[in-house]
A and B are shown apart, each in its own frame.
Chain A
Amino acid sequence: MITTLLTRIRALRIRIRAWRAASSRRKFPTQVIQLGVIFVAIGVSVFLLRQKFIPESFGELGHYRADAVTANAALEPRYAGWQACATCHSDKVEVKNKSYHRNVSCEACHGPASDHTEDFIEHLPEVPVGREPCLACHSYLVSRPTGFPQILEERHNPVRPCTSCHDPHDPTPPEHPQECSACHTSIARTKAVSHHAPLDCEVCHEVPPEHKERPHAHLPKKPFAREFCGTCHATDATPPEALRGVDFTVYEIPRIDLVTHGGTLVCWQCHYQHSPEAR
């Protein structure tokens, strides 16, 4: 057997030598064919490797692994959603859903509660304690939308926890806010450093008493004509009763000719009424 193998190898070597010697009679020199063989071998192996290693689900739905979609969908939620809370705590949810906090989800204050729905004794949701959790939304920030209930932390019952007066699931204040600044803080603050500081809000706005209970349902009236501002600012005007207490030696009310000043525009188209400094 071995002798046959050796004879075969020897014969092969003779043939290769002869093939090499015949190089000049061929179109392509030997070296090119050698190279060609190598390149083809590389190409084929790359192709085969690709077939083996490309992930199975790749390309099913697009240029990505379809399994990735299921992988992304397979994570466990940590927030259960308020409807899950309602299954057991329907009394609280019912009360909350009629209150000012109806749009505040349970988990916004109590944290993720998916664990709690699995084992309600082992995993208890957190109960917010102190003023900080409430201040996160309700402390005054000038960038918060006007009308959103905000308080100045240091001035609003600074020592007491919020829950001593406000039930978090029905946070209707024990008394309706007396000052407009309770909800319209940034306007109040702007006005307080302006020339209209001595004017109470009611001087210009007719505020129905129900506004403090249901603000959106009972809107205050706003002035609608130039003559309104003219009651103080027209050349021949006499400031109304409401302003009698103001000391006009500190500053004088600027007077304008109501007919010619500002054309057909209404005053607040140029002057911001809560800070009307002429510029």
Chain B
Amino acid sequence: MPKTYERREFLAELLKFPGATLLLGVVGPVKLLAAAGADEDEYDPTEHYYAMGIRVENCIGCGKCVQACKSENDVPDEPFYFRTWVERYIVYTDGEVQVDSPEGGIHGFPEVATDKEILRTFFVPKLCNHCDNPPCVQVCPVGATFKSQDGVVLVDSDYCIGCRYCIQACPYGARFLDPRTHTADKCTFCYHRITKGLLPACVEVCPTQARVFGEIGDRSTPLNRMMRMSHLEVLKPHMNTEPKVFYTALDGEVR
């Protein structure tokens, strides 16, 4: 258990005195600040290098990650704009492969209405891969999208001119144009959360730990363990984008 949790537990015990309920209104935000690490040193991006792992065999296609992402990042509700989404693959015995992602999987998936015999079927969560060799950054004419020092590909929405070249260049369909700001948008690994020591929203709500967040390099994070113990794959390796989202049990039918 991390030190901060024990500290908070102790504080919580202290505050269980009668009448402390009133104080909580004041102390609450103060504690949240403490929890956020205001007493620690300021965030240094050169000390971190983020990546994500996805355990395909754990995903149940509940869509909570999609909901949480839209909620956390104020993504438009309409089903044409997704920073993350879930796909369902159904491989039939006759060789046909059916892929669907109804509204990105945000409300889960409907039952499969077919009598055909299924060979195998699974869910695959998708998001921006925060590539180490990002083609989207390569093609941006003005430098409005970039890879940060901590390995996160971000968009400068105050500088983006909305030419949409990056959206064309992404092989994974991870980008879209925000219809309100008319600038490119995509998953940011919840940069505003991870720089405060929190997890991305999608990782936070995943009920089966299908999403694993952490850092690559010599670090003790859940991701590092996953990278040691599992056989990993990335999407479209032949494109040489060097994605930093690593999949286990990734089926060959997944594009």
Contact = CB atoms under 8 A, between A and B. Distances in A.
Contact of A68 (B61, B64, B146, B195): B146
Given A65-B156, A136-B62, A87 B31 contact: yes
Contact of B45 (A69, A76, A88): A69
A84 B8 CA distance: 9
Interface stretch (B161-169, B203-211, B223-231): B203-211
Given A136-B108, A137-B60, A143-B112, A79 B12 contact: no
Contacts of B118: 142
Nearest to B111: A141
Grouping DSSP codes into helix (H, G, I), strand (E, B) and loop, the A interface class, with mixed when no group exceeds half, is loop
Interface string B189-209: 011110110110100111111
B112 to A, nearest CB: 6
A69 B24 contact: no
Contacts of A58: 143
A137 B12 contact: no
Contact of B122 (A65, A90, A143): A143
B121 interface: yes
B60 A65 contact: no
B201 A88 contact: no
Interface in A112-163: 112, 117-121, 136-137, 139-145, 148
Contact of B109 (A108, A141, A148): A141
Nearest to B35: A84
B121 A142 contact: yes
A235 B198 CA distance: 64
Contacts of A108: 64, 68, 204-207
B17 interface: no
A112 B191 CA distance: 17
Interface in B1-60: 4-5, 8-9, 11-12, 24-25, 28-29, 31-32, 35, 43, 45, 57-60
Contact of A118 (B32, B72, B155): B32
A201 interface: no
Given A105-B205, A119-B25, A148-B60, A73 B9 contact: no
Contacts of B72: 77-79, 112
B172 interface: no
B149 interface: yes
B71 interface: yes
A142 B113 CA distance: 11
B123 A143 contact: yes
A24 to B, nearest CB: 47
A62 interface: yes
Given A81-B198, A141-B111, A144-B61, A71 B29 contact: no
B148 interface: yes
6 contacts: A75-B192, A77-B198, A79-B198, A81-B198, A103-B209, A108-B204
Given A72-B188, A79-B201, A79-B204, 10 more contacts: A55-B159, A63-B143, A68-B155, A69-B154, A73-B43, A81-B199, A108-B204, A118-B28, A137-B60, A139-B108
Interface of A: 55, 58, 61-65, 68-69, 71-84, 86-88, 90, 101, 103-105, 107-108, 111-112, 117-121, 136-137, 139-145, 148, 275
